[in-house]
Amino acid sequence: MDVRILLRADRILHAAEVASINGKEVSQTFPYPTDFKLRNFIDNDQRFNFLVEPKVRIRIAFDGVAGNHLLEESRISADQTASYLEDGRLVVEGTVVPSLKLRWWLRSFGDTVEVLEPKSLRDEFAEAYRKLSARYK
pLDDT value at residue 64? 93
With bands split at pLDDT 50, 70 and 90, how would you rate the model's confidence at 44? low
How many degrees, rounded to 5, is the angle at CA 43 between CA 40 and CA 46?
Answer: 110
The burial of 28, by beta-carbon neighbours within 10 Å (0-12 exposed, 13-18 middle, 19 or more buried), is given as exposed
| pLDDT over 60 (residue 133) | yes
With a cut of 70, say whether residue 16 has pLDDT above it: yes
Domain count, the chain: 1
Q: For residue 107, is it within any domain?
A: yes
Task: Tell me the pTM.
Answer: 0.65
Q: Backbone phi, then psi, for 83, in 5-degree steps? A: -155, 180
Residue 99: inside a domain:
yes
Average pLDDT of the residues in 24-47: 73
Tell me what pLDDT residue 28 has: 67
Q: Which domain holds residue 75?
A: 56-135
The pLDDT score that the predictor gives to residue 100 is 86
Question: Does residue 125 fall inside a structural domain?
Answer: yes
- Listed in sequence order, the residues at least 6 apart from 77 whose beta carbon sits closer than 8 Å to its beta carbon are 94, 95, 96
Asked whether residue 16 is domain-assigned, the answer is no
